[in-house]
């Protein structure tokens, strides 16, 4: 499988260009999926403190090592600092909780999950909410001091590389200017309908690798979003079913999922499709025996809807748009 080289503190790290996503998967599903993925050749797993999948992943990895399938350095594990721990003073303790659950002594990549922060409910490590249902914004935290605490984790050997997720252009530039250890990766929503062309150009100029989350358009999240975002299920984008994607699948004798993923990796974008289905887990990584022609790549590039293609705007965190670091202000400017 292809890897991208990440430059981090005094070393170059290899990041496999395809990883397994684990958001919204239940423990039994994660257990089966991570095992099936490792058997299918995945060496990169994406999780986060607030997915509640770290503990199960830790169990699977421990079994995988114990049974002699490989060593720690064969794997690339990403996890994320939650928005309720998004302040300098909390970075170390949240990372330690993640490492404990994952049963690992380090992670390869630690990301600040979101640029905005909420006060923390210390009982269950979730965001605190106010009586009116709005989220309790922590307006005092600042992304620069949080980044400095992230850098300390690299220096202590607890993480190999650090990066950002859901940060916008100006937030990335602010961090980059002050960083002693530059962000290695930006993880953002990225698929055929939201191709993030400007953000990708910025990252390229700064030497930051880009990971696409929801690379298939997160089709299984339609029910979740219809309750959380008031989305009508019928309005939820069906990128896998787009006629152009289906026609290319027919032409290359591949699945629509493989066409969407190949479109991204062919442009050096890391992909982390989630699946709990063993067949889809296998096909989602079988991307290296074909190449989309320049003409077909252009056809897929033309599906971009820019901001109108965005699915994840986090407005289900009621009141989040009032946080000074809410990253998608342009979406609500018209309100
Ligand atoms: N940083 C962030 O804020 C953030 C936000 C969202 C996601 N993420 C990460 O990115 C990962 C991927 O995003 P995502 O899970 O939202 O969406 P996704 O990977 O685009 O889509 C996953 C959905 O597609 C289905 N699927 C998988 N492969 C398929 C195929 N070949 N054909 C048809 N359907 C297929 C899966 O169902 P089955 O399981 O039934 O196959 C699942 O419902 C997450 O799991 C998470 O690790 C990060």
CATH of the domain at 156: 3.20.20.100
279-312 residue pLDDT tens: 999 999 999 999 999 999 999 999 999 999 999 9
- What is the model's pLDDT at position 250? 98
DSSP 152-186: HHHHTTSEEEEEEES--HHHHHHHHHH-SS---EE
Indicate whether 7 pLDDT > 70. yes
Nearest by Cα to 203 from 153, 167, 253: 167
CB of residue 62 inside a 6 A radius of ligand 1: no
- What is the model's pLDDT at position 177? 97
Residue of 275, 276, 277, 310 to mutate, ligand 1, most atoms within 8 A of C-beta: 275
Read off φ and ψ for residue 126, nearest 5 degrees.
-125, 165
Indicate whether 147 pLDDT > 50. yes
- Cβ count within 10 A of residue 313: 18
CB of residue 22 inside a 6 A radius of ligand 1: yes
- 197 membership: H or E segment, kind and range: helix 197-206
Ligand 1 center from residue 178 Cα (angstroms)? 33
CB of residue 78 inside a 6 A radius of ligand 1: no
CB of residue 240 inside a 6 A radius of ligand 1: yes
Residue 92, Cβ density class (10 Å: 0-12 exposed, 13-18 middle, ≥19 buried): middle
Distance CA 119, CA 87 (A): 10
Q: What is the mean pLDDT of the chain?
A: 95
- What is the model's pLDDT at position 278? 96
Q: Taking residues 262-288, what's their average pLDDT?
A: 97
- What is the model's pLDDT at position 229? 66
In a domain, 75, yes or no: yes
In a domain, 333, yes or no: no
Closest ligand 1 atom number to CA of residue 111: 1
Alpha carbon 78 to its chain's center: 9
Distance CA 269, CA 212 (A): 7
Residues 6 or more apart from 56 whose CB is under 8 A from it? 27, 30, 31, 34
Residue nearest to atom 41 of ligand 1 (CA): 275
CB of residue 79 inside a 6 A radius of ligand 1: no
Q: Taking residues 84-103, what's their average pLDDT?
A: 98
Overall number of domains in the chain: 1
- What is the model's pLDDT at position 333? 66
310-330 residue pLDDT tens: 999 999 999 999 999 999 987
- Read off the pLDDT band of 232 (50, 70, 90): confident
In a domain, 335, yes or no: no
Q: Taking residues 16-36, what's their average pLDDT?
A: 95
Q: In this structure, are residues 195 and 201 in contact, taking their beta carbons and an 8 Å threshold?
A: no
Residues 6 or more apart from 105 whose CB is under 8 A from it? 72, 99, 158
- What is the model's pLDDT at position 1? 78
Residue of 18, 22, 23, 189 to mutate, ligand 1, most atoms within 8 A of C-beta: 23
Q: In this structure, are residues 47 and 61 in contact, taking their beta carbons and an 8 Å threshold?
A: no
- What is the model's pLDDT at position 334? 52
Q: Which domain covers residue 218, as residue numbers?
A: 3-324
In a domain, 331, yes or no: no
Ligand 1 center from residue 223 Cα (angstroms)? 14
- DSSP 3-state of 293: coil
Closest ligand 1 atom number to CA of residue 46: 47
Share of the chain above pLDDT 70, in %: 98
- Taken in order 219, 47, 268, 40, is the CA torsion positive or negative? negative
Indicate whether 58 pLDDT > 90. yes
Ligand 1 center from residue 216 Cα (angstroms)? 7
Indicate whether 162 pLDDT > 70. yes
Q: Taking residues 144-167, what's their average pLDDT?
A: 98
- Which active-site residues does the annotation give? 51
In a domain, 81, yes or no: yes
Q: Taking residues 206-232, what's their average pLDDT?
A: 86
113 is in an annotated binding site: yes
Counts for the chain of helices (H) and strands (E), in that order:
12, 12
Residues 6 or more apart from 73 whose CB is under 8 A from it? none
In a domain, 137, yes or no: yes
Closest ligand 1 atom number to CA of residue 114: 3
147-156, 159-168, 233-242, 244-253: least confidently modelled range: 233-242
Q: In this structure, are residues 133 and 103 in contact, taking their beta carbons and an 8 Å threshold?
A: no
- Read off the pLDDT band of 227 (50, 70, 90): confident
- Read off the pLDDT band of 9 (50, 70, 90): confident
Ligand 1 center from residue 174 Cα (angstroms)? 30
DSSP 86-136: -SHHHHHHHHHHHHHHHT-S-EEEEEE--SS-B-EETTTTEE-B-TTS-B-
Ligand 1 center from residue 140 Cα (angstroms)? 33
């Amino acid at each position: 499988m292809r890897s991208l080289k990440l430059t981090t503190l005094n070393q170059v790290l290899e990041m496999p260009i395809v990883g397994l996503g684990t958001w919204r998967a239940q423990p039994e599903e994660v257990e089966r999926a991570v095992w099936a993925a490792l058997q299918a050749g995945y060496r990169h797993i994406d999780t986060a403190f607030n997915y509640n999948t770290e503990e199960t992943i830790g169990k699977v990895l421990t079994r995988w090592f114990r049974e002699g399938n490989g060593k720690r350095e064969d794997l690339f594990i990403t996890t994320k600092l939650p928005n309720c721990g998004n302040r300098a003073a909390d970075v170390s303790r949240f990372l330690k909780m993640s490492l404990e659950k994952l049963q690992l002594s380090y992670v390869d990549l630690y990301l600040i999950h979101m640029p905005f922060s909420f006060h923390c409910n210390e009982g269950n490590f979730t965001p605190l909410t106010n009586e009116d249902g709005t989220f309790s914004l922590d307006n005092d935290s600042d992304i620069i001091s949080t980044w400095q605490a992230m850098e300390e984790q690299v220096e202590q050997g607890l993480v190999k590389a650090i990066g950002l997720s859901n940060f916008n252009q100006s937030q990335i530039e602010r961090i980059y200017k002050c960083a002693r250890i530059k962000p290695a990766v930006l993880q953002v929503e990225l698929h055929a309908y939201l191709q993030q062309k400007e953000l990708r150009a910025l990252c390229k100029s700064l030497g930051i690798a880009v990971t696409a989350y929801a690379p298939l358009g997160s089709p299984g999240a339609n029910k979740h979003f219809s309750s959380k975002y008031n989305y009508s299920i019928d309005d939820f984008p069906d990128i896998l079913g787009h006629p152009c994607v289906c026609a290319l699948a027919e032409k290359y004798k591949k699945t629509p999922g493989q066409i969407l993923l190949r479109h991204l990796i062919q442009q050096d974008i890391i992909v982390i499709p989630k699946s709990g289905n063993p067949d889809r887990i296998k096909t989602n990584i079988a991307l290296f025996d074909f190449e989309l022609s320049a003409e077909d790549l252009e056809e897929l590039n033309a599906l971009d809807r820019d901001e109108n293609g965005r699915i994840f705007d986090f407005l289900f965190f009621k009141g989040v748009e009032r946080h000074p670091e809410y990253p998608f202000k342009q979406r609500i400017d018209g309100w």
